[in-house]
Amino acid sequence: MVLFNVSRKDTIPFDGQKPGTSGLRKKVKVFIQPNYLENFVQASFNALSLTAEKVRGSTLVVSGDGRYYSKEAIQIITKMSAANGVRRVWIGQNGLLSTPAVSGVIRERVGHDGSKATGAFILTASHNPGGPNEDFGIKYNMENGGPAPEGITNKIYEYTTTIKEYFIAEDLPDVDITTTGVTNFTGPEGPFDVEVFDSASDYLILMKSIFDFESLRKLLSSPKFTFCYDALHGVGGAYAKRIFVDELGAQESSLINCIPKEDFGGGHPDPNLTYAKELVARMGLGKSESQGEPPEFGAAADGDADRNMILGKRFFVTPSDSVAIIAANAVEAIPYFSTGLKGVARSMPTSAALDVVAKSLNLKFFEVPTGWKFFGNLMDAGLCSVCGEESFGTGSDHIREKDGIWAVLAWLSILAYKNKDKLEDKLVTVEDIVRQHWSTYGRHYYTRYDYENVDAGAAKELMAYLVKLQSSLSEVNQLIKGVRSDVSNVVHADEFEYKDSVDSSISSNQGIRYLFEDGSRLIFRLSGTGSEGATIRLYIEQYEKDPSKIGRLSQDALAPLVQVALKLSKMQEFTGRSAPTVIT
């Protein structure tokens, strides 16, 4: 038994340690300053100590997506946990746990001594690049497995502004995080244990309790079905081989970029058509044609594996369609949902494809502001089973984070279901499923234009201008008709406001909406996750019910609305940009 002492260290506050809903994200250069991480962790302990049992005697999970500086951070947080009276720290092997896996571990895992976790420090900056010159991040999740609510993150921030001291067990030896097992220590207040466990086992158990692995195995191991998964060198790689290859029989060659790397191989670990280049080329969607026949199914994940992108052969599934299709098929295709869905939800800028499914299946439906936390409240109250966002997040009430691998297994389950008994004949493809969905429910043509790193003042002015315009719809419609006479009238315009149906809290200014008579929508929002300047997001959506018109190219169908949106917002005038940075 190794004995340790507690040291009290003097410190002074750092500016700007206010965590967003996704935690504190800064450049590595900022995080490695002496006491920077220590201050934030101590402030978190101080804030959490206000409620009983969250720190003293508690069990904390500490892990993340494996990005640069994670290993050092894990040792620091472990030593500070010991000094602050935490009873146990749980660490995924090599410090790796995906964000959804952490959420699952908090909710489900039972330690070797029967203990349960009370919370987690997740070390990730999600889809932001990693490496010595890139981003590091830390966020705290609560005992329901979801991110700390604003009440707590505000408290943490308050403590960071006044902090004078922190506590650390300096003489606690570094823990070997490469090997699973339990190490016992003893401090002034008694025992302290560190348990290093396999990163994938608990998550695998959870996935097996949700999906029919036997039918998935039949699909994935069939030579007729070809598959490709791109983890973009994020933590998803720690799960991909175990689940897709070892459990479900996919070829090992179906995995690309599945070795987690501290700098994500120098790439941008965000699963979209711009950044998941290798997968996009393999699926026959890139500018240069891939070699040979593309796989039937492709998917990618972000750094911490909570996001997902779903692709068919030469076919892109929009995230908005993806959640609608999962909801429409969940009861038949996924055992976890066999008794029915409690309700479904989407974020405001996500297309209304899910609304049509909810209406037709008579399901409870919620439209919430951007940000996963709003779904968590609904799920805790038993009101929502499946939810999704246009920003490549999809998930369910099995945990309180979005879940990239879950989304892939959900799609594979739908494919397995649609192909059951006919794997020997012609395969029902991803594209078939999507087109079939459109012909049943209509199609929501959808695109998002991002203007990244725009001057913050200019972005604010553009938004203010759009709000002002809303006061006269007749003026708006006149403007629109001057640009395109074939675009329908705006019948309602506002700034989205949400009243949480569980705690009645109100969230205002959640995006500017222009709603058209034919169901089309234009939405303007400032990103809440950018790190430089401002990012303006323009979401463009058009509903088409006529089956003869659902097969058009998205950019052709949306061209008139795009033209209107750019004119209406004076995008070029305000930003000086003639084109968006990214189109998804």
**Site for Zn ion, rule CB under 5 A:** 126, 302, 304, 306-307
Cβ at position 367, least distance to ligand G6P in Å = 14
Amino acid at 520: S
Q: What would the two tokens of residue 444 be?
A: 């929501």
Instruction: Work out whether 393 is an interface residue with ligand G6P (CB under 6 A).
Output: yes
Say how many residues make up the chain. Answer: 584
Q: Which of 109, 155, 282, 537 binds ligand G6P (CB under 6 A)?
A: 537
Indicate the SS3 state at residue 107: helix
Torsion angle defined by CA atoms of residues 100, 106, 110 and 113, in that order, rounded to the nearest 10 degrees? 130
Helices in 362-514 by DSSP H: which ranges? 373-380, 404-418, 430-441, 456-469, 473-483
CB of 451 to ligand G6P, least distance (A): 12
Size of interface with ligand G6P, in residues (CB under 6 A): 13
CB closer to ligand G6P, 22 vs 160: 22
DSSP 8-class letter at 265: G
Report the distance separating Cα 531 and Cα 468, nearest Å: 28
Separation CA 320–CA 353 (nearest Å): 7
Binder among 63, 128, 391, 413 for ligand G6P (CB under 6 A): 391
* Catalytic residue (choose from 126, 254, 351, 569): 126
317 Cβ contact list (under 8 Å, min separation 6): 310, 311, 325, 430, 434
User: CA torsion, points 146, 149, 153, 155, in degrees to nearest 10?
Assistant: -130
90 is written with which tokens?
């749980």
- Which does residue 537 bind out of ligand G6P, Zn ion, none, counting CB within 5 to 8 angstroms by kind? ligand G6P
Q: Which of Zn ion, ligand G6P, none does residue 370 bind to, with CB < 5 to 8 Å depending on kind?
A: ligand G6P
Question: How far is Cα 314 from Cα 295, in angstroms, rounded to an integer?
Answer: 9
Using the rule CB under 6 A, give the single segment among 138-146, 209-217, 351-359, 368-376 that binds ligand G6P: 368-376
User: Is 488 part of the annotated catalytic residue set?
Assistant: no
Rounded Cα–Cα distance for residues 409 and 515 (Å): 35
Pairwise CA distance, residues 342 & 399, whole Å: 15
Shortest-Cβ-distance residue relative to ligand G6P: 527
- Interaction residues for ligand G6P, span 4-23 (CB under 6 A): 22
Q: Per-residue string for binding with ligand G6P, 299-338, x by CB under 6 A?
A: ----------------------------------------
Interacting partner of 270 out of ligand G6P, Zn ion, none (Cβ under 5 to 8 A depending on kind): none
Q: Which does 351 bind (CB under 5 to 8 A by kind): Zn ion, ligand G6P, none?
A: none
DSSP 247: I
Taking the least distance from each CB to Zn ion, the nearer of 126 and 351 is 126
The reply to whether 268 sits near ligand G6P by the rule CB under 6 A is no
CA dist., res. 331 & res. 413, Å (int): 11
Q: How far is the CB of 435 from Zn ion (least distance, A)?
A: 30
Nearer of residues 235 and 248 to ligand G6P, judged by Cβ: 235
Q: Nearest approach, Cβ of 399 to ligand G6P (angstroms)?
A: 13
Report if residue 346 touches ligand G6P, rule: CB under 6 A.
no
Q: Are strands 88-92 and 59-64 parallel, antiparallel or unpaired?
A: parallel
**Contacts for 435 with CB less than 8 Å, ≥ 6 apart:** 550, 551
Residue number with CB closer to Zn ion (270 or 397): 270
* Nearest residue (CB) to Zn ion, 195 versus 304: 304
Q: Residue 302's binding partner, choosing from Zn ion, ligand G6P, none, with beta-carbon cut-off 5 to 8 A by kind?
A: Zn ion
Contacts with ligand G6P by CB under 6 A lie at 22, 126, 347, 370-372, 389, 391, 393, 527-529, 537
